[in-house]
A and B are shown apart, each in its own frame.
Chain A
Amino acid sequence: MELVLSIGIGIMTGSGVWLILRPRTYQVIIGLSLLSYAVNLFIFGVGGVKSNAAPLLGEGVDVSTLTDPVPQALVLTAIVIGFATTALFLVVLLAARGLTGTDHVDGREQPK
Chain B
Amino acid sequence: MVAFIVLGALLLAAGVGVVTLRQPVHAALSLVGGILALAAMYVTLEAHFLAAIQVIVYAGAVMVLFLFVIMLLNVGSTPTRSLPWLKPVAWVTGLLAVAGVAAVVFMVQRPLPELEVVQAALRGGNADAIGESLFSDYLLAFHLVGVLLLVGILGAVALVQQAAPETRAVATRTATPDGEGAEPRPVLAGEES
Pair from one complex:
no
Residues of B at the A interface (CB closer than 8 Å) are none
Residues of A at the B interface (CB closer than 8 Å) are none
